[in-house]
Amino acid sequence: MAPQPTATGSGEERIKTESFFAAQPEPRAPTIPRTTKAEEVSKPRTGIKGFVMTLHRTDVGVGQTSTGTSRRSPEIFIPLSARNANPDFWKWPHAFIPDPSKQGKRDRSNVCMSLGGQIISVNMMTWPDKHDFRLRNETLRSAGSIGDIMRVEKVDDLACGFEYYVEIIPEGTTQFSVYRALCTEPVPNSGRYYGYY
C-alpha cells in the first residue's frame, strides 16, 4: 500500500504510513479441562498380542505345608495395574459376570488356554478383599517356578479350540532374556515385572 499524504493544521504535507506488521488481536486457544484423577481402566492399546510377567512365590507356591493346613488355591496373581493397562486383552470387564455369593467379585469362567499341548480351563477372577486379578487353574500354577516368566498370547483363530496360548519361559534359557526384556513395568513393593507386546 502506498503512503498517503495528509494535511496538517499548518499547511505542511506529511506522509502517514500504515504498518504492514501491525498487531492484530487473535482469538485465544480453547481451554482443555484438566482431569483430577486417573481413570481406573486405561484406554486399550492397539496391536497388543501378548502379555509377559515374572512369577513369584505367590504364583507357584502351595502355601503352608504344616500338618493340618490346607494348600493355597491354585492361582496366579496378575497385578491390577497390569490388567488395567490393557483391559481388552483380558476382555475386562465386559466378559466378567458378578459373583452373587461375593460382593465385588467378578468371574470369567472356563477360559480355554493351551499350555504344553494340553487345553486347560482357566477361571479368570477379581478378588476384592486382596484387590487383585487371578488366573485359577492347578496345571497353570504348577507349570512354573519362582523367577520364570509366564507368557500369555491371544489367539486369532478361535477355531483351534482355545483363546490364549500360554508358555512358561524358564529362567536361564535362551528365550528368557528375550521375554525378560519385554517385562518393562515394575509393580511397586513386589519385585514383579510385566509387559505387553
Q: For each of the domains in the chain, give its residue range(s) and CATH number, in order of start.
A: 50-196 (2.40.330.30)
The C-alpha cell at 74 is: 491354585
pLDDT value at position 44? 47
Mean pLDDT of 121-137: 94
Looking at residue 163, its amino acid is: E
The neighbour count for residue 1, using CB atoms within 10 Å, is 6
The C-alpha cell at 89 is: 486383552
pLDDT value at position 31? 58
pLDDT at 185 over 50: yes
What gap in Å lies between CA 51 and CA 46, rounded to an integer?
A: 13
